[in-house]
Structures are given as C-alpha cells and as structure tokens.
C-alpha cells in the first residue's frame, strides 16, 4: 500500500480518497489479520513513531510516513535506519555548529510575531527587531506557523491546513546511573512493552560511558493522561518500567529528568505534526506551496524521512532552491544538495567543521531485538 504513494503528492494515489477517509484505528478493525497481535503492534507503531493514537491519524498519513522512510522496518531498525546513530553532545550540537558558522546573523531571544508580505517582499516583526527581505522561509511546524500574524492573511486553505495538523504528544524521561549496568548482563537497554504507561526505552548512555542513561518515552494517549498527573507519579511509572526490564538496580538512579514537549513553548509537541482523516486530500497541496514571497520548510514538509532531522535538512534545501528560483538565479548556479557538496552552509571551512562532528552509533545490542512484553509478564534485551 505505501509503495503506491508518491511522497510528493499522496493525495494523487489511486486509493487516496478511500485511505484518507478513515483513521488507522478504523481500518485496523476492518481487517482480518492472521496473527492476533497484529492490530496492537500497529497501534504501538503509531503511538511510538507518530506519538498519536491510531484513532487520531489518517490511514493515508501513516502510509505516506512509511513511504517517506522507505518502509516500516526503516522506522525501527538500528543499522542504517532511523535508530542508527546519535550525535555526540546531543542533537542540538548540529544547530549550535550551524549557528556558529552564521555568526551574528542568528538572532536569539527575538521570536517572530508578525509577517507582512507582498510583491515588494517581506517584513518580519520580531521582539526588538524588524527584518526586511525579498523572500522568507518559515520553518515552524504548520500548527505553530498558523499562530503567526500575517498581513495580508494567508489564503484560507493554507490557514485551514495549519488548524488540522496537530503536534504529537510525548514525554521523554531519562534516568542516570553510575554505569550502564545492563550492558554487563548482555542487555541492550532497548525495551518495548505491550502495556503500561511507558511502551519504549533506549540506552542513551553518552559515548564516553561516564554514566549510564536509560531513556523512556511516554507517548500519545498515555502521555496526555500522564500530563494530568504529577511529575512524581510519572517518575514512579518510568522507574517501575526500567526495573521491570532491567532489574531492581534500575529503580534507584542517581538522577532523573523529563521533558514534556507539549508544554514547551516553541514546539508545543513532538516529534512532528500529523494529518487526520481528510487532511491530505483536502489540504495536501497547500503544505509546501509558496504564498507569494513566503516559503515553507521544516520536517513536516519533507518528502524523505518526514518527521526526522534528515527530512528537515531536505526541506531546507528544497525551500532554498525555491527562493533562488524566485529571485531569478539560474539553476546551474544553485548549490548542490548537502549530501553531494555540503550545500550552502557557509564557507568550505564551516562545512568541514560541521561534517567533522562526531556521530556515535547506538549502543551495541546483544541480542538485537527487544521482546514485546505480554500483559502478564515482561521481557527485555
């Protein structure tokens, strides 16, 4: 099914209208799967990958997301796939390196509030600063991009798109230990559960191994319910999950921290926005289409690895090419895409510095697959 979708135009798939008319949950209930656990496994994929419930998401959106990644296993695998590597120093190190290359052109503490746009260009009003340009690229997720004030107002279909693409709900919870003790027992630190508040965890130990870190995810409906509780209750649930998989030692960390991304002012959720029933077929054409001098980027607009940093980079290159075309720059003068030449990220020295950033593989896994826990018991690897 996913292979029949063109990521650039999911709404043009032969069965797009049928698939976009139902949620993933509705479609699952109509199927006669041979294996009794297939439906719950699919729900788990939606909860952990899209951080939505299966009843929230259009079937067409899930199929597009799978197609964008290259297959379902690409979303969960650990060798050359979504979970392959981590950035030493955290993913923010990439943004820090890019900001360093750009220097004073990066303005911090000045959130944009109002965007005036027209044939003469763009005027962006931010806290304490006004910026004028011939073109602008808006990289906010659609749900947040719609909260900016535009003059003139955005076309109705573009604005209604932003009203229909909510962010996912996820709480990331990290427990810190003196050592990654689970590795000594031959366990990877990866755990997947079929029940409970927490359904997924990973080994997030830093590359130098100075401490051990287990990272848990509370997602979708469980995250929404958990947010109505207390941080203390969440901590107890997370540590109980770790102990269930990795033993009593996991219940007594040195430190515990959590981030509820839906509470974060500049994201309002994580990992990305998703479309519900009717979203793609009604508004898909408006997701990337420029509005005069305004262009749209961000991982939600990506064709490949939508929802991931790779997708954000791809979307930035696409938006940059749109801007260059709009400014009348001949295509033979456009920078090559990032994987081929380093793109347009500052000077050659800047690009070399960014490229030299250390990428750490995920923790060694033995065995390589975490077992799904049945309601009556638990397993881990």
Tens digits of residue pLDDT in 148-160: 999 999 999 999 9
Here the tokens at position 354 are 């960014």
Q: Around Cβ 218, how many Cβ atoms within 10 Å?
A: 29
The answer to whether the CB of 242 falls within 8 A of the CB of 213 is no
Residue at which a domain ends, from 15, 42, 76: 76
- The pLDDT of residue 239 is 97
Residue at which a domain ends, from 76, 95, 123: 76
Q: Domain residues for 58?
A: 2-76
> Is the residue at 23 inside a domain?
yes
> Is the residue at 92 inside a domain?
no
* CATH code: domain of residue 184: 3.90.660.10
Mean pLDDT on 243-258: 97
Give the Cα separation of 358 and 262 in Å (integer): 30
Give the Cα separation of 171 and 155 in Å (integer): 34
Among positive and negative, which fits the CA dihedral 79, 380, 201, 253?
negative
Q: How far apart are the first and last CA of the chain?
A: 32
Question: Percent of the chain at pLDDT above 70?
Answer: 88
> Is the residue at 18 inside a domain?
yes
Give the Cα separation of 219 and 198 in Å (integer): 8
Tens digits of residue pLDDT in 30-53: 998 888 789 998 999 999 999 999
361: which residues sit within 8 A by CB, 6+ positions away? Answer: 84, 85, 86
Q: What angle do CA 181, 191, 183 make, to 5 degrees?
A: 20
33: which residues sit within 8 A by CB, 6+ positions away? Answer: 39
* CATH code: domain of residue 44: 1.10.405.10
Residue at which a domain ends, from 250, 268, 286: 268
Asked if the bond preceding 329 is cis, omega within 30° of 0, the reply is no
Tens digits of residue pLDDT in 308-350: 999 999 999 999 999 999 999 988 888 776 543 333 333 444 4
In this structure, what DSSP letter does residue 273 have? B
Give the Cα separation of 157 and 162 in Å (integer): 9
Here the tokens at position 11 are 């709404």
> Is the residue at 376 inside a domain?
no
């Amino acid at each position: 099914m996913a292979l029949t979708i063109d990521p650039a135009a999911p709404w043009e798939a032969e069965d797009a209208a049928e698939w976009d008319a139902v949620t993933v949950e509705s479609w699952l209930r109509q199927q006669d799967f041979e294996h009794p656990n297939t439906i719950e496994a699919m729900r788990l994929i939606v909860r952990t990958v899209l951080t939505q419930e299966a009843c929230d998401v259009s079937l067409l959106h899930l199929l597009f997301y799978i197609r964008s990644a290259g297959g379902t296993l690409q979303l969960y695998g650990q060798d050359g796939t979504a979970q392959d590597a981590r950035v030493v120093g955290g993913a923010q190190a990439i943004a820090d390196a890019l900001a360093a290359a750009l220097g004073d052109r990066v303005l911090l503490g000045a959130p944009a509030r109002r965007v005036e746009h027209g044939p003469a260009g763009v005027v962006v009003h931010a806290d304490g600063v006004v910026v004028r340009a011939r073109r602008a690229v808006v990289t906010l997720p659609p749900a947040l991009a719609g909260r900016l004030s535009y003059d003139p107002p955005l076309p109705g279909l573009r604005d209604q798109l932003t009203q229909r693409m909510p962010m996912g709900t996820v709480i990331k919870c990290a427990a810190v230990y003196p050592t990654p003790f689970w590795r000594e027992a031959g366990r990877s630190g990866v755990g997947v559960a079929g029940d409970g508040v927490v359904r997924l965890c990973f080994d997030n130990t830093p590359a130098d191994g100075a401490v051990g870190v287990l990272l848990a995810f509370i997602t979708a409906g469980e995250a929404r319910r958990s947010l109505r509780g207390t941080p203390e209750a969440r901590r107890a649930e997370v540590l109980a999950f770790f102990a269930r998989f990795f033993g009593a030692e996991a219940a007594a960390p040195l430190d515990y921290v959590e981030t509820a991304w839906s509470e974060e002012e500049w994201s309002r959720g994580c990992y990305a926005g998703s479309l519900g029933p009717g979203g793609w077929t009604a508004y898909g054409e408006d997701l990337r289409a420029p509005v005069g001098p305004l262009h749209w980027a961000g991982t939600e607009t990506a064709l490949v690895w939508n929802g991931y940093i790779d997708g954000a980079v791809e979307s930035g290159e696409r938006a940059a090419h749109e801007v260059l075309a709009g400014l009348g720059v001949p295509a033979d003068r456009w920078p090559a895409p990032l994987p081929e030449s380093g793109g347009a990220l500052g000077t050659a020295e800047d690009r070399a510095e960014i490229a030299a950033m250390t990428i750490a593989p995920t923790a060694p896994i033995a065995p390589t697959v975490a077992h799904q826990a049945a309601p009556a018991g638990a397993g881990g690897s």
